Structure 1
Amino acid sequence: MKAGNKAPSTTTPGKPKKATTFQEFESITSDAWDVGDDDDELLAMAAKNLNIEVVMETANKVIENHSKLQERRQQQMDKMSEPDEKDRQEAHEEEEEEPDEEDEREEGADMTTDLSFSSETFPISDNRMVKSHSEAPVGSHKEVGVEQAVLHRQQSLPHRPTIPLVARMADQNTSGTPAMTQREASRLDKFRQVLAGPNTDLEELRKLSWSGIPRQVRPITWKLLSGYLPANAERRASTLQRKRQEYFGFIEQYYDSRNDEHHQDTYRQIHIDIPRTNPLIPLFQQASVQEIFERILFIWAIRHPASGYVQGINDLVTPFFVVYVFEYIEEEVENFNVSSLQEEVLRNIEADSFWCMSKLLDGIQDNYTFAQPGIQRKVKALEELVSRIDETVHRHMQQYEVEYLQFAFRWMNNLLMRELPLRCTIRLWDTYQAEPEGFSHFHLYVCAAFLVRWRKEILEEKDFQGLMILLQNLPTMHWGNEEVSVLLAEAYRLKFAFADAPNHYKR
């Protein structure tokens, strides 16, 4: 594809170019948000559709604040990495005395604090410089075969490797119960203040939720942002009761028909796919959980005959189910025995998961109708967008005849759920719930940022086989909240870089 018009410049005059790099946008992920609540200011300005230069100037201010903090943090880390001779001797003696304990500490440190990035600077089509990051080396894929078959509507999707819900201490607020930091406690208090009113301010709730939702209030927040619950607090109990009764009315009306000739193919496919959903997470291998998923998916398929059940929809139940289980338990969910919950609680979780999944799918149903036109359009839009933001990567894939549909079909069909750990999906969906058309529109920018995130590794592969294996097995197992926040920040930048262009996907 030939180069065309450059993407609109979003750099504010007088600001250094580094303010728009992927490296600098990591600044949005952590303590920069603490400095004067810059995130609220930025998102409020964006919501008002102000001039892009003004929005980006505010974003650059956030970045600059955080860059200074990052520089000081790096200096401290450099000092820590150069112990004097006495420290080395003491460390050596401790290692000899207690090797097992030391190994355990080192292993834990690797899991919780290894957030280093290797960077390569490269130009994008508007002459700015963007950095690509790699946190894990990609091995050689040359000896592994790849099928070049076209992706079909009902193809069998590959299993996802084991993905613990909690992998790093820094991310345990997503699905664990560690002690909160002062910042986390402050954010939780802000959420509770917004939620406590008689009529929840949904715009304020979205603004707070964009940068992540505390675990304690995530269930109620997701239900409100999805439109499942009304903003009026007095109506919520009656709404929940009515919707839950309605769902189980569908069960009584339709579920016995699953073995009828007209529906048995649908049910059979669901029954086959359910055990493949997070196969190595014990929670999802429990019979009671699989039965819940079967009912949810079958009822949804019966009530949406235009699409019916399509492989990949089964994945979309899991974030809702996990989040709504956390509404009733304090312990880790990964190995939790859901049969220990009261029947009424299980019924509530099932019905709430069904309705919220339905709300999500209402916005992207053309992804799953015949020939999946929604996915085809989005994959084409992704190709056009990547050709604008990183022509080198785009041409590299063209050179080796890699079609975007061959890897990005799954990104759209499963909303990146098979590319990311489940804990990251939950964090990603916090923002999707808060972002206007998050699942249908903003997801495109996330996919573009996700692809460019692996620029260095992509350009190192010199054949079709290596590229396909890389793109279908991207090394995200160690990812947590910080990496997702960087990804979202870059997607946010891309969205506003092209926001005023009527045909911004096209040249």
Structure 2
Amino acid sequence: MNRSVPDWMKSSLWPSFDDRHHAIVDTAETPTPRSSIPPNQPDTAVLPPPPQRVVSSPPAPLSHHASETPRSTPAPLLEDASRGDRFHAALSKRNIDLAELRMLTAEGVPDSGGIRSVLWKVLLGYLPTNRDLWAEELRRKRAQYGSFKEELLLSPSELARRLEKFNGMENEDSCAGSGLLHRSEITHGEHPLSLGETSIWNKFFQDTEIMKQIDRDIKRTHPDMDFFCGDSPSAKLNQEALKHVLAVFAKLNPGIQYVQGMNEILAPLFYVFRNDADEQNAAQAEPDSFFCFVTLLSGFRDHFCQQLDNSTVGIRSTMSRLTQILREHDEELWRHLEITTKVNPQFYAFRWITLLLTQEFNFTDSLHIWDALLSDPDGPLESLLRLCCAMLILIRKRLLAGDFTSNLKLLQNYPSTSVNHLLDLADKLRGLPIL
């Protein structure tokens, strides 16, 4: 027998969407393949935000010094400035309290004042909690990334030139400065036509194909944002930085290399760091993004490895966990999706999980969602699964009324909603007893 609707869902805090404002297309979409993850186009319905969380009010500029607030300043700005001051105070401590920082983040992060850039670096462990170590740690990591680029993004011709220069230091008879090796010095493995696995040219051509894929994906990253796309010099520099980060990652991780969709995970990190209020830190957005990208992806990288799809750490296992969480909190909805309409999670949750919800919401809302992901003491994956479950529950009325076709269309084009509302429901799921 189906379990009844949980009492907590009957609260007026969780109203259902008005079905009259949503037109459902009666054509089913095919499951989204790993190699092609299109951007989302949400509906227009908006849920009323709950009063306790404030993340969307216009932020006021913040400084490290208190100043008198004009009497005409609106109350939302005062509240946002107050939260900004609390963040600055927490991040200015010699030894940062992560528990305090996570608590503040749960209340919402102002969109300006340079808070999010430093906050994410601390939450991801890129910056240690001891502020005295920041300068040396940043210097060391940024120099290390520079070495990675120097060693990994060279063409075989440049490698040959440097090898010749090195040999010329030991042998005065070498052709120093010519950029070419003597014919007798070119081994079979170094010849451009060699197909050997150890051939630097064969490896270079393989890397070239990866770079072409990266280049195509970077050009499709948030095409509606001038920051990422366009012909401006700044946009082109940003694109080059993203390419470098993904190329270095691919070379350092030959087992996984680059998989389409990684660009969408890198984009929020680079955007936040490149817009740091501190110009010196903003100029170092590329190396900072690389290390934070590696840290973040370490918890999700198995989702990008097709060989692990059916393993206990693969994407199928993670999607099964999502359906189990849904069943524990709302068995009626789970039964309707899984058994009645047979809308399996691979039809919609694959993109939700692998791209960390970056394609289901507008960019600004995605940043607020990532605040929650990165600050969750249970880890980003656990937070992500609760958010995905909350997404299903928020539209349960429409899903329960729908068939396979309408539900598939709805879940593959998730309707606009209040992110405040979504985050609060996800928080509520954390502490709810299992039915």
8 Å CA contact retained: 1:134, 1:454: no
Encode CA deviations 1:387-417: one digit per residue, 9 max, x unaligned: 2322332233232222111111001111111
Q: CA deviation at 1:171?
A: 2.3
Residue 367 of structure 2 corresponds to residue 442 of structure 1: no
Q: Is the 8 A contact 2:60 2:81 kept in 1?
A: no
Q: Go from structure 1 to structure 2 and tell me whether the alpha carbon gap of 1:267 and 1:496 turns closer, same or farther (over 3 Å shift).
A: same
> Match for 1:386 among 326, 330, 333?
326
Equivalent residue, structure 2, for 1:375: 315
Q: Scaled by the length of structure 2, what TM-score is found? A: 0.74
**Pairing 1:23-422 to 2, within 5 Å after superposition:** 23=11, 119=15, 132-133=16-17, 137-142=21-26, 145-149=27-31, 151-153=32-34, 155-161=35-41, 171=56, 173=58, 181-215=77-111, 216=113, 217-256=115-154, 260-285=204-229, 286-328=235-277, 347-369=283-305, 370-372=307-309, 373-397=313-337, 398-422=339-363
Q: Which has the higher helix share?
A: 1
Whole-angstrom distance in 1 between the partners of 2:215 and 2:11? 44
User: Is the Cα–Cα contact under 8 Å of residues 364 and 439 in structure 1 kept in the other structure?
Assistant: no
| Residue pair 1:211, 1:485 contacting (<8 A) in 2 also | no
Measure how far apart 1:174 and its partner are. 6.9
The AA in structure 1 aligned to 2:336 is H
Counterparts of 1:21 and 1:175 in 2: how far apart (Å)? 35
Checking the alignment, whether the CA contact within 8 Å between 2:217 and 2:260 is kept in structure 1 is: yes
Rounded Cα–Cα distance in structure 2 between residues aligned with 1:490 and 1:274: 33
2:414 aligns with 474
In the aligned structure 1, how far is the partner of 2:294 from the partner of 2:374?
14
Task: Note the residue ranges of structure 1 that are not aligned, 5 or more in a row.
Answer: 10-16, 27-118, 120-131, 330-341, 499-503
Assess, with a 3 A threshold, how the Cα gap between structure 1 residues 376 and 244 changes in structure 2: closer, same or farther.
Answer: same
What is the CA deviation profile of residues 230-287 of structure 1, one whole-angstrom value per residue up to 9, with x for unaligned ones? 1111210111111111112111111235981232232222111111111121211122
Instruction: Please tell me whether the aligned partners of residues 96 and 131 of structure 2 are also in contact (alpha carbons under 8 angstroms).
Output: yes
Over 3 Å counting, the alpha-carbon distance change for 1:181 and 1:410 in structure 2 is: same
Larger Rg: 2
Q: Would the alpha carbon gap of residues 316 and 293 (structure 1) be closer, same or farther in structure 2, given more than 3 Å must change? A: same
Contact 2:261 2:355 in 1 (8 A): yes
Q: Does 2:424 align with 1:489?
A: yes
Give the number of equivalent residue pairs. Answer: 357
Q: What percentage of residue pairs aligned between the two structures are identical?
A: 29
Deviation at 1:317, TM superposition (A): 1.3
What SS is found at the alignment partner of 1:436?
coil
Question: For structure 2, which runs of at least 5 residues remain unmatched after alignment?
Answer: 44-48, 63-72, 157-202, 230-234
CA gap 1:299/1:389 in 2 versus in 1, 3 angstroms: same
1:343-394 deviations in Å (ceiling 9; x for gaps) = x666401111111111111122222223444321111111122223223322
* 1:21 equivalent in structure 2: 9
- Normalising by structure 1, report the TM-score: 0.64
Measured against aligned partners, the alpha-carbon deviations of 1:6-46 in whole angstroms (never above 9, x if no partner) come to: 99x9xxxxxxx5xx3375557xxxxxxxxxxxxxxxxxxxx
Counterpart CA distance in 1 for 2:252 and 2:432 is: 39
Distance 1:453 1:257, change over 3 A: farther
> Match of 2:227, SS?
helix
Q: CA RMSD in A?
A: 3.2
Deviation at 1:140, TM superposition (A): 2.6
Q: Tell me how far apart the structure 1 counterparts of residues 59 and 219 of structure 2 sit (CA, whole Å).
A: 24
More contact order relative to length (CA 8 Å, sep ≥ 6)? 2
Shift of 1:162: 9.8
Distance 1:134 1:238, change over 3 A: farther
In the other structure, the counterpart of 1:430 is 371
Q: 1:199 to 1:309 in 2, by over 3 A?
A: same
Q: CA-to-partner distance for each residue in 1:307-328, whole Å, 9 max, x for gaps?
A: 2211211111121122112213
Describe the superposition over 1:163-200 as per-residue Cα deviations: whole angstroms up to 9, x where unpaired.
Answer: 9xxxx998254799997622222212222222222111
C-alpha distance in structure 1 between counterparts of 2:242 and 2:326, whole Å: 36
